Amino acid sequence: MSSALISVVITTYNRPDALTAVVQALFTQDNLGFEIIIADDGSGHNTQQAVAALQARSPVPLRHVWQEDLGFRAARARNLGTLDAKGDYIIFLDGDCVPQRDFISQHRKLAQAGYLVQGSRILLNQQATARVLSQPLDLQALSAGEKLAWRRSGALNKVLPLLLSLPDIGRTSTRFSWRRIKSCNLAVWRVDLERVNGFDESFLGWGHEDSDLVVRLYNAGVMRKDGAYATEVFHLWHKEAARDQETSNRAVVLQRAVDRTIEAVKGLRG
C-alpha cells in the first residue's frame, strides 16, 4: 500500500494541549499520504478552538467529529471517526500519544492484508509530560543522547525501541494473545472493521472495548502483527480513568472469546 490513503482517527476528551502536541507531530511526518479525523468524546469549547487552529495550518485533510458528553464513550467516538474516514486503512491513535516522525511510513510498511498491527508506546512520567506541554517541547527533535538521559532520569519507561528500528521480519502470529492490546496505537483495515461491525458501543465505562475488538477480529480470521521497534509513540502521563465497569466489561470479552463472537452488538451499522 505504498500510495493508499491512510486515515488516522484520534480520540480525545478535554485535553487540548495534549491533542495539539499529537496533531502537530503528525504535521511533520516524513510521509503525508494520510488524513486526520479527530474523534471527540464530548470535549468543550477549548478543544474546538484548538482543533480550528490546527485545521488552519494542517498540511493534510483534518476533520472533527463530536458527540455529546454522556460519559466515557470512546467506542462510539472511534466508530464515528471510522464512518467519517475516507482511507482503506485506519490507524487509531489516542489524543495523548505523540508519534515519531516516521510513524505513518512505518505503519505503511507493516500494513498487510488479513492482519491488524498493534503499535507500541513509550510512557512518559508526570514531570516529563508537564515539560513537554508547558514549553512546548518537540519530542521528535530529541537526540539519542537526550533520549538516554531521559531514560536514566526515569522520564521514559524504556528507550531501546526509540533507538533501534527492526525490519518487517517475524512480526506476524496466528496465535491469539491478550498481551499488549491497546487501541491507543492500533492499525486495522477498514474492510475488517466493517466485517466485525467496528467497536462495540454497548460497553459501558472504561475498559476492554479494545480487547473486545481484537478478539472479534481474531474470531473473524484477522491475525495480529507486532509493531514494536517500528511504530512507537510517546504516551503522555495522565491520571487513571475511573474503572467502575472494568470487571463486567472483561467478563463480556472473555465470554466472546469462548463463543467465537464476530459482530459488535452496537457498532458501525448500529
Q: Return the beta strands (E) in 79-170 as ranges.
A: 89-94, 97-99, 115-118, 121-123
**DSSP state at residue 139:** G
Q: Is residue 264 part of a domain?
A: no
- Whole-number Å distance between alpha carbons of 257 and 246: 17
pLDDT at 162: 96
The answer to whether the CB of 35 falls within 8 A of the CB of 62 is yes
pLDDT at 6: 98
Q: Is residue 234 part of a domain?
A: yes
CATH number at residue 80: 3.90.550.10
Report the predicted TM-score, pTM, of the whole model to 2 decimal places. 0.95
CA distance to 17, 72, 128, 178, 252, per residue, from 100 (Å): 18, 28, 16, 26, 35
**DSSP state at residue 99:** E
**DSSP alpha helix (H) spans, 135-208:** 144-153, 160-163, 190-195
Q: Is residue 15 part of a domain?
A: yes
- Whole-number Å distance between alpha carbons of 133 and 48: 18
- Whole-number Å distance between alpha carbons of 120 and 151: 17
Note down pLDDT in tens along the chain; length 270 residues: 778 999 999 999 999 999 999 999 999 999 999 999 999 999 999 999 999 999 999 999 999 999 999 999 999 999 999 999 999 999 999 999 999 999 999 999 999 999 999 999 999 999 999 999 998 889 989 999 999 999 999 999 999 999 999 999 999 999 999 888 999 999 999 999 999 999 999 987 777 899 999 999 999 999 999 999 999 999 999 887 665 567 788 899 999 999 999 999 999 998
Q: Is residue 69 part of a domain?
A: yes
Cell 491475525 belongs to residue: 223
CA quadruple 121, 125, 128, 129: dihedral positive or negative? positive
Domain span at residue 151?
6-259
Residue 185 region by backbone torsions, left for phi larger than 0, else alpha for psi between -120 and 50, else beta: beta
pLDDT at 1: 73
Cell 486495522 belongs to residue: 188
Q: Is residue 267 part of a domain?
A: no
Buried b (16+ CB within 10 A) or exposed e, 160-174: ebbeeeeeeeebeee
pLDDT at 243: 57
How many domains is the chain partitioned into structurally? 1
